[in-house]
Structure 1
Amino acid sequence: MARQLQEQLAERFPAGKRLRVLDVGLGQGARALRLARAGHRVTVLERDRTAVLRARRALAAEPEEVRARLRIVEGDGRDTGVHFPPGAFDVVLCHGVLMHVEEPEPLLAALARMLAPGGLLSLLVCNGDALALRPGLRGDWAAALSALGATARLPRPRTAPGRTAPARPEADALPETDARADRLADLRATLAGIGAPLRAWYGVRVFTDTAAHDAGPPEDLEVLLAAEELAGRTDPYRAVAALLHLCGVRG
């Protein structure tokens, strides 16, 4: 995921440009810190008070120049207009948030308005086109049959016995509770409608989603990551990934 995002930033913006980044949904804060350490000015929008306090404690341990580049604002992504003027950011990240929003269109429209012309909107969502695959691989036929219907609800993940996986970065982890999933065609249409048409998309967690959540990294971790990276860019494998990383560009 980090490599895919870096690739898009390098393609869209001049080398060395200090970007204005809005990160909606803090997670553990690693993504925002990484960008601030790289020299970008990062604003995080987070509504969970506990997450905000945790992030501020972590930020306090950073060098002064990093602290000066990262700002944390308490608020909801749907209310961006309350906090920021239109076109205020070069990049807007919304990773692992859409799956917890029942109606994604208002949130996406609000985020698109924050983008300057040519700005990048980066989304990480649950893949609604592949909901039956994981329960099918586990042998949970009832769940697979249900997922083959019109549902867009992600079932609670269950561990397959005997599997191992690398430790999961925060942005790549599936939620531990029921969540909503999105279909690629629907998001493509939505992004076009809000003026940030889809320019690139990737699959995330093509092979490793059914592995045990509490296992340590395997000895051949680098090979596994290389296989995931390539599969996430290659048809038909990327279409059945557990997560989708979509990149839209403001016209």
Structure 2
Amino acid sequence: MPEAPEKSDAAMKAWQEWQDAPWGRLRYSIAEANLLRHLDASGGEPLRILDLAGGDGGDAMRLAARGHHVTIVDHAPAMLAAATGRAVAGGVTELIDCVEADATDLPRDLADGEFDVVLCHNFLQYMDDVPGTLASVLAPLKSGGLVSVMAINRHSAPLTIAVREMDPAAALAALDTDQARTRMFDSALTLHTAEEIIPTLRTLGCRDISHYGIRSFCDYISDDARKHEPDYYADLERLELATTARPPYMHTARLFQLTAWKHTD
């Protein structure tokens, strides 16, 4: 999620509609499944989770529903208000805290929070200093804790343009740029690949890094209407779950997700 002082009502509405669409639901369900591969190792104990630039709580609500305590940090009051409303509707208000702050300049009690898990989902593409941002992301994480980093996959950009827009010339140009733009929030993006981010995480002391792809097939299926059909969606979700960690599919998925453990000294 981009950090901005305010989101327009139109952008907020579009964002909420996107989350409810099949591609939005897949983004959250696959990310949750990948996290559970590692969180289940905690033996079912409630964890303290920090969701940086967590927006209106799309990830947080799923984790709170499993009994974990989640602190959402976001710069946009409208997003946090929406997250609070979702927490009330979901009956998880005691497990959700919302903090208005810059995700890379946290209040001291959060910066020194010793969290079990830190999420950095769809935030990295808005930042100029990737190593510095990731260092800030890891700072509140306790030794032996889990970080999850998600971002738009640059490898997917030419494919998306060629398949969805049927514009091979633009796809060719996209091969040699890391710049893009999000229409929903009218923001500039810098696109990365998992192969670029993994060495940075290692340099910052992360170990046992796992690479997943999110929406390896969905974004390249042009018939969006069929994705709304329950049976078709169920089949698509099973396919996405089966390929999220299976080469070569995660390398061309629309999003990459990396999970890693902060090294214990």
TM interval, shorter chain, is 0.7 to 0.9
Tell me if structure 2 keeps the 8 A contact 1:198–1:246. Answer: no
Helix, strand or coil for the counterpart of 2:119? strand
Deviation at 1:236, TM superposition (A): 1.1
Runs of 4+ in 1 over 4 A off after TM superposition: 174-178, 211-214
Deviates more, 1:36-45 or 1:178-187: 178-187
Q: Percent identity?
A: 30
Instruction: Give the stretch that moved more between structures: 135-144 or 237-246.
Output: 135-144
Q: Where do residues 163-242 of structure 1 align in structure 2 (5 Å cutoff)?
A: 178-197=188-207, 199-211=209-221, 215=225, 217-218=228-229, 219-242=231-254
Structure with bigger helix share is: 2
Report deviation, 1:177: 5.4
From 146, 153, 157, the equivalent of 1:131 is 157
Q: Which amino acid aligns with 1:78?
A: T
Aligned pairs for 1:72-111 within 5 A = 72-80=98-106, 82-86=108-112, 88-111=114-137
1:6 match: 36
Of 50, 64, 67, the residue aligned with 1:39 is 67
Instruction: Indicate the residue corresponding to 1:165 in structure 2.
Output: none
Match of 2:168 in 1: 141
TM-score by length of 1: 0.82
User: Letter of the aligned partner of 1:152 in structure 2?
Assistant: D
Please state how far the C-alpha of 1:181 moved relative to its aligned partner: 1.1
Q: 1:82 to 1:142 in 2, by over 3 A?
A: farther
Residue 214 (structure 1) shift = 6.7
CA distance in 2, matches of 1:213, 1:43: 37
Instruction: Name structure 1 gaps, 5 residues minimum.
Output: 158-173
The 1:225/1:60 distance shift into structure 2, 3 A limit, reads closer
Q: Which amino acid aligns with 1:39?
A: G
Q: Is residue 193–residue 256 contact of structure 2 (8 Å, CA) maintained in 1?
A: no
Residues 52-110 of structure 1: CA distance to partner in whole angstroms, max 9, x if unpaired? Answer: 122223333443xx322211111111113634243610000111111222222222101
Q: Which digits, 9 at most, give the CA deviation of each residue in 1:210-241, with x for residues without a partner?
A: 44697451332221111111222211111111
Shift of 1:249: 0.8
Q: Calculate the aligned-residue CA RMSD, in Å.
A: 2.4
In the alignment, does 2:126 pair up with 1:114?
no
Q: SS at the partner of 1:225? A: helix
The residue matched to 1:80 in structure 2 has which SS? coil
> 1:106-139 deviations in whole A, cap 9, x for unaligned?
2210111111111110011111233211212242
Q: Does the CA-based 8 Å contact 1:81-1:110 persist in structure 2?
A: no
TM-score, reference length from structure 2: 0.78
1:189 Cα offset (Å): 1.2
Q: How many residues align?
A: 230
Unaligned runs of 5+ in 2: 1-30
Separation in 1, partners of 2:188, 2:58: 24
